[in-house]
Structure 1
Amino acid sequence: MSTDARIESSGGRRALYIVVPVYNEAPNLERLFEGLRAAAREAAELDVSVVLVDDGSADGTPDLARALAEDLELTVLTHGTNRGPGYAFGTAFAHLASRVRPHDLVVTMEGDNTSRTELIGKMLRRAEEGHDAVFASPYAYGGGILHTRASRVVLSHIANAFVKEFIGVHGILTVSSFFRLYRGSSLLRLQESYGERVVERDGFESMVELVMKMAYLQMSISEVPMVLDGTRRVGKSKMSTRRTVVGYLSLFGRKRAWQRRSAKYPPS
C-alpha cells in the first residue's frame, strides 16, 4: 500500500509496534516480557504488537519468546545466522513497511533489559508534543550510567563526538542507543528516502546512521532521561569495541550520498 493510500485509510485505533532485536537472550526474556506486558497495559489505548527479530540465536530464544508472550501479540522474524543489530532492525523496518500507518508509533529497544520499558509511556507522551522521534538518553538531565563496561561508555562518547564534529549533527545527547520511539510518519519518510530497510550498516553503528539520516531530513528529535544499569542484563554485551569503532568511521564515507538522497525529499 502506498504512503498516500495509508494516509487516507489511517482511521481506527493507533498501533504501537515494539521492535526488539535479540541474539542469545534466553536468560533475559522472562524479565523482558514482564516489562513489555506492563508497557502494553499502560498503553491500553493503542493496539500493541511486539516484533522480535532473532538474529541467529542458538539458545532457543525464539521458542522461549513465543512461550512467554501469553496475551501479547508477537511476531518473530528469524535470521539463520547472526547478521548484526543493524541488519535485524532493517528486517523489522521492512516487515513494517506495508503495515505501519502515519499515525502509528514504533519503539525500538534492546532485548537485554537495559532499555527501561517503564519509560515507554513517557516517550509516547513526549511524541504527542509533535516530535518525529524520542530517544531515551542516559546523558539527559536525570539520566545516568551504572555498572556498565568502561569500553561501552567510551564508545558512546566517541559516537557523540563523531556525530557532532565530523558529521555535523548537533543538539542530540545520545546517538548510539537502541531505545527510541519513532512516529509512523517519520519511519515512512525514512523508507521513502532510503528504502524499506532504512539502514545500510549491519552493526551497532547503524544507530548513528539513523541519526544522520533523520538529521538530513530535518526531523525533530527529543530526549527523555534514562538510567542505563548494566546489572539488569544477564550475560555480557554483544558489542565489539574494535568493530564498532571501525563502523563509526565507515559512516563518514556515506555522508554525501545520504545527504543527496535526503535532498530529494524536503520537509513538507
Structure 2
Amino acid sequence: MMETTFRIGGDLVVRRLGFGAMHLPAAPGPAREAAMALLRRAVELGVTLIDTAHLYGAGANEELLAEALHPYPDNLVITTKIGVAQHGPDAEWRLDGRPATLRAQVDNALRRLRVERIELLQLHRIDPETPLADQVGTLRDLRDEGKIARIGLSEVSVAELDQARRIVDIASVQNRYNILDREHEPVLEACARDGIAFLPWRPVAAGSADANAEIAAVAAQAGATATQISLAWLLGRSPVMLPIPGTTRIAHLEENLAAERIQLTTAQRETLDRL
C-alpha cells in the first residue's frame, strides 16, 4: 500500500499531496475571497503542506495565506521561498542570494505569515553572483537562531545539492518535474537515496497531459482524468515525492486530491514510465 504521508527532515509529517498557492489572486475583490475559500477548503480536505514564496506578489501571496488560514491548524505546514528580489527603477525581479537580502526576506515572511518560525524555508534559486556557501550558510545561521526549522533548495543540480549538504542539512528539493518532463531525474534519485523530500513544481504538464494518447488511454481505463493519472504516477514514482498542484477552482482542488486514491496497475505504470 502506498504511503500517503512523508516526514520532511525525518520528523515533520505532511500529507504527500500538497497545494501550490502561486496562482491564487491576492488583489482585493471577489477573486481574493474565492481564493481564501479555496484555501480553507484545502485544509478541510486534509491538505497539510501549502507552498508559497516571496516572489508571488512580493509577499502578497504569503499575506493571503495568513488572512485565510491563521491561526493555523497544528498539522499545517506553510513552506515559503526566498532569494529573488526586485531591483532598479522598473522593479525587475532578479536572483538575489546576498545574506542581507535573505535575512530581510525571512523576517518579512515571518511577519506576513504571522509565525515565529518557518518550518520549511526554501532557497528559490541559487544566485550565481553570490557564493553558495554564503547563501546556504545564511540559512544555516537563521536556523540556528530559531527563525527557520528546516532548509530546502529549488532548481538545483545534483552537484549543487551535494555542495549545499556539506554546509547544512537539506530537507527538501523543489525542482520542475512531471510525467512528461523528467530532466531532473538524477536529482530525484539523489533525494530518494537520502530521504530528502522532492516537491515537483509544475507537477502536471499543463495541456500536454490531456493531449497525450497514452495518458488519455490510461485515464479512460481508470475512470479518471489525465491530471489525476499524472498525479497518481508521481505519487507512485518515489516515496519522497510530494506533488504540490495548484488551482484557483475548488472543483479542480477536489479532483487533484482524489488522485491519491487511484491505484495504477503494473501494466498502466509501465506504459506511463515509457513516455
TM range (shorter): 0.3 to 0.5
Structure having greater relative contact order (Cα 8 Å, sep ≥ 6): 1
Q: Which has the larger radius of gyration?
A: 2
TM-score, normalised to structure 1, is: 0.33
TM-score, normalised to structure 2, is: 0.32
